[in-house]
Every structure is written in C-alpha cells, then in structure tokens.
Amino acid sequence: MYDLVPDETQRAIIDTARDVAGAWTAGDRDGWDAAVRSGLLALGTAEEHGGAGAGACGEMLALIELGAVRATPAVLAPMLAAHLLAARPDLAERTGLSVTGVLTGEQPVALADSWQWHHDAAPGTDWRVLPAAGARWAVAVSPAGLQLLDVQAAEAVPGFDRDVPLARVTGSALGEPAGPALVDRALTLAAALQVGLARQVLDVCVAYAKARHQFGKPIGSFQAVKHMLADMAVELEAAQACTAHSAVLIDAGVEDGMAARTAKVVAGQAAVTVTRLGIQVHGGIGVTAECDMHRYLRRAHLLEQLFGSSDFHGEGVVRSLAALPG
C-alpha cells in the first residue's frame, strides 16, 4: 500500500529543511553552513554511516524545500558522494574521501554531469561541472551510473543560469560506474528540486494574481488567468506525486525501472511549463530583469538538462517497454 503523505518524522524534516532554505536565501555560504549544521545533507545516509537513515523520502522532502529557494543544485554532490562512498568502500581508500568528510564539507566535492546524456561521447572524458570551491573531486553522474571524477583541467563557462557557476572539465573517472539504483536516486533528487521550483513559482504567481488589479478586479479572478494557474497546479500535483512515488519505491527496495525516470520527466516538464506560464501570468513585469521569473526560468532549464532531459528519459522509458536495445 502506498502512503504518499509525510508522517510525523518526515514533517519534522520538512520543518528543518525550511529553516535551511531560509538561510539559503541569504546566500550560498549561509545555506551550506545551515545544511551541514542541521544534518540535512546526511538525512538519507544510513545510520551505520553516521546519517539519519531517513531514506530517499527524507532527502526528497528536504530538497523540495531547497528547490523552492533556488539553492544550488551542487547541494546534491555531498549527498550522492556519500551514497557512492558507502556503496564502494574501495573508492574511499583510493581517494581519501570519507562519508563524514563529504557530508561535513571538510572534503568538498563538485557535481559533474556527463555530456553523455546528450551525445555519444566516450565515457568519462568530458564533463560539465557545478564546481565546489577547492574541490579536487567531483561526483559524476552518467547514464551508466555514479563515479568519482578526478578533476584535472577546468574551464569556467558563463552559465545561462547566472546564479550557478559552470565549468567544463576534463578528468579521469575512477572505477566502474555504480548504478542503476544510484542513478534512480540521483534522478529522484533532481526531480525534487524541480518540484520545489515549480511549487514556489506557482505560489509567487498566485500571490501576484491576487494582488495585481486590472479593470477594478484582481487578475486572478479572470478565468483566462485562473485557468492558467489551475493548469500549473495540475502540473505540480503530477510532478509531486511521481517524485514521491519514486522515492517510496527506492526506500522499499523495489526497482521497477520506470518510476525514477518518470519522476524526472514529469517534474522537469512541470518546472519548465509552470515557469513559462508564470511569466505570462506576470504580464509586462514578467519579462523584465527586475522580476525574478527569468531566474526561475533559467534554473528550470538547468535542472531540465541535469542528469538527462525529459526527452532523453522519455526515450529510455519507451525503449525499455518495447524491449529495444539501449
């Protein structure tokens, strides 16, 4: 039986995550400090590795809150690195990294996203990285699984999302990729950031539609606007449900090969669609630099490409259902 409603412990996680999210609005430094201090990064790590054992569900609920304040997606790096190190003790030995080290920020790790989500590049040669200051290692996510990347040459590139520094790096990846369970985890956590983003944009738009008056009435009372907002709510509801569905299956150890990809596709589309409609709801102010909508839009596109786009995973879902090769 599926229970997709947070229980008491999970509601406490949401409260903690909201505090961390509050700190993040003051800047990345404060955000990272609060995330480490509150134990948020260690939520999903097993208790035997010093984590809270709250599973993928706990991580997902926390990341929805962080996604809402546009915390950097690099926040996924220590979480995923900890899972990888816990699953592959040999990597800890080879790199000197430890679960505790990455979760406390003493050993910073960057997040690397493979170009293979987009092209048929040779494995492990070309990565796009969300850097962490002073990070020598990055946790690299590719279709084949998770690896640790020894960052060699890095070239900063201007980011479409100006709030997230990007670099294109070459490096060598250590060992065989760990997957597919960790890939499912990565997809689900990225989807959580997308759900948070979509939820926040909808909230902002609803507030604006109540406050902004034209023809002597709040614009949210006009059906054309109201129905646009209702459609955004449907997108969000679907994204939330699919992401929660995937997280509970991961925690139950059920691999159905569909849920995580579905979550990433649905949440990705929701984040982009809700943000695009959100600009329209805002009218003139929506297309200005002064309004935050473009920042949400830029983030939605970054997250849509992270760990494979909706098109990429949609294709994967159909190929596996049809039993077609890779």
* Residue numbers at the binding site for other proteins (CB under 8 A): 1-7, 10, 57, 61, 202, 206, 209-210, 217-218, 220-221, 223, 226-227, 229-231, 233-234, 237-238, 240-242, 244-245, 247-249, 251-252, 254, 258-259, 262, 265-266, 311, 314-315, 317-319, 321-322, 324
CA 193, 249, 140, 32 dihedral sign is positive
Minimum CB separation of residue 282 from other proteins in Å reads 15
What is the C-alpha end-to-end distance of the chain, expressed in Å?
A: 32
Sorted by sequence, the CB contacts under 8 Å of residue 18 that are 6+ apart come out as: 65
CB of 146 to other proteins, least distance (A): 24
Q: How far is the CB of 224 from other proteins (least distance, A)?
A: 11
C-beta closer to other proteins: residue 199 or 299:
199
Residue 304 CB, nearest approach to other proteins (Å):
15
φ and ψ of 218, to 5 deg: -65, 140
With respect to other proteins, which residue has the nearer C-beta, 165 or 196?
A: 196
Report the C-alpha gap between 148 and 23 in whole angstroms.
29
Which CA distances in Å does 264 have to 55, 105, 239, 284?
Answer: 18, 27, 8, 31
- Please identify, using beta-carbon distances, which residue of 298 and 313 lies nearer to other proteins: 313
Q: Which is nearer to other proteins, 162 or 227 (CB)?
A: 227
- Give the C-alpha separation, 167 to 173, whole Å: 17
Nearer to other proteins, 2 or 160 (CB): 2
- Nearer residue to other proteins within complex by CB, 94 or 210: 210
What is the distance between the alpha carbons of residues 174 and 186, in angstroms, rounded to a whole number? 18
Q: Whole-number minimum distance, CB 198 to other proteins, in Å?
A: 14
Closest to other proteins by CB, 23 vs 202, is 202
Spatial distance between the Cα atoms of 68 and 292, rounded to a whole number of angstroms = 13
The span from the CA of 267 to the CA of 288, in Å, is 26
Q: What is the DSSP string of 120-140?
A: -PPTTS-EEEE--TT-SEEEE
Q: At a CB cut-off of 8 Å and minimum separation 6, what does 241 contact?
A: 4
- The answer to whether 156 and 26 have CB atoms below 8 angstroms apart is no
Closest approach, Cβ 61 to other proteins, in A, equals 8
At closest approach, how far in Å is the CB of 220 from other proteins? 4
Q: Residue 270 in contact with residue 236, Cβ under 8 Å? A: yes
Give me the least distance between CB of 21 and other proteins, in Å please: 19
Sign, CA torsion 92/96/100/103: negative
Nearer to other proteins, 149 or 205 (CB): 205
